[in-house]
Chains A and B, each alone.
Chain A
Amino acid sequence: GNSVTQMEGPVTLSEEAFLTINCTYTATGYPSLFWYVQYPGEGLQLLLKATKADDKGSNKGFEATYRKETTSFHLEKGSVQVSDSAVYFCALQLPNFGNEKLTFGTGTRLTIIP
Chain B
Amino acid sequence: EAQVTQNPRYLITVTGKKLTVTCSQNMNHEYMSWYRQDPGLGLRQIYYSMNVEVTDKGDVPEGYKVSRKEKRNFPLILESPSPNQTSLYFCASSFSGREQFFGPGTRLTVL
Contact = CB atoms under 8 A, between A and B. Distances in A.
Contacts, number: 52
B61 interface: no
B66 interface: no
Contacts of B81: none
B43 A104 contact: yes
Contacts of B96: 100
A107 interface: yes
B45 A89 contact: no
Query: Among A4, A46, A100, which residue has the most Cβ atoms of chain B within 10 A?
Result: A100
B104 A43 contact: yes
Contact of A42 (B40, B41, B59, B104): B104
Interface of B: 4, 31, 33, 40-45, 48, 50, 54, 56, 58-59, 90, 92, 94, 96-97, 99-100, 102-105
